[in-house]
């Protein structure tokens, strides 16, 4: 599963040919959440509130890039790296 971004100890990944809805995986320590790219809502798992807030802030600024990466991954192409939250 390609890593597309890493910031503040949070890893963002996207699987090749993953199921709908379009989403990414956010991992922080032992916690993981699957986050819908379009709604920015968690639909599986959980993250500590501070980590979740950072992920949502980052994703809200990067939705178009996340959508593009989703399309690449669905076509078995390597997703592009996305700039981290600063």
Q: What is the DSSP letter of 80?
A: P
Report if residue 68 sits inside a domain. yes
List the structure tokens of 49: 């509130």
Distance, in Å, from the CA atom of 24 to the CA atom of 40, rounded to the nearest integer, reads 10
Q: Which domain holds residue 67?
A: 3-74
* 82 falls within a domain: no
Question: Is residue 7's pLDDT more than 80?
Answer: yes
Tell me whether residue 33 is in a domain.
yes
Is residue 1's pLDDT more than 80? no
Task: Compute the 3-state secondary structure of the chain and give helix, strand, coil in percent, each to the nearest 5.
Answer: 30, 30, 40
54-65, pLDDT tens digit by residue? 999 999 999 999
Number of structural domains found in the chain: 1
Residue 17 maps to a domain: yes
């Amino acid at each position: 599963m390609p890593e597309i971004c890493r910031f503040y100890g949070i890893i963002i990944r996207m699987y090749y040919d993953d199921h709908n809805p379009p989403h990414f995986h956010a991992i922080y320590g032992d916690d993981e959440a699957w986050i819908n790219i379009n709604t920015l809502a968690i639909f599986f798992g959980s993250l500590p509130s501070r980590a979740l807030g950072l992920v949502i802030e980052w994703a809200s600024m990067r939705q178009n890039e996340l959508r593009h990466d989703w399309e690449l991954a669905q076509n078995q192409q390597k997703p592009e790296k996305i700039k981290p939250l600063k």
